[in-house]
Amino acid sequence: MHKKHIDKTIPANIQAQSQAERIKALERENRELKQANEIIKKAAGLEAQAELDRKPK
């Protein structure tokens, strides 16, 4: 479906609400991905430190 058709058939207030909901969902997803990224960075740092702390065989 083309955007022009959607713009004509869906009332502006519904479009704005849908866009606001989409933005809110994307912001939430962005926060979650940033948190996951921080966890991965910390885990990688711990793994690297553990590797340095291991005694050579």
Please write the tens of the pLDDT for every residue from 5-43.
656 777 777 777 788 888 999 999 999 999 999 999 999
Q: Are 15 and 7 in contact (CB under 8 A)?
A: yes
Q: Are 27 and 19 in contact (CB under 8 A)?
A: no
Q: Which residue shows structure tokens 């004509």? A: 8
pLDDT at 7: 63
pLDDT at 48: 85
Task: From 1, 51, 4, select the one nearest 43 (Cα to Cα).
Answer: 51
Tell me the CA distances in angstroms from 31 to 1, 21, 35, 40, 42, one per residue in order.
Answer: 31, 15, 6, 14, 17
pLDDT over threshold 60, residue 1: no
So where are the chain's domains?
7-53
Q: What is the mean pLDDT of residues 43-53?
A: 86
pLDDT at 3: 61
pLDDT at 2: 60
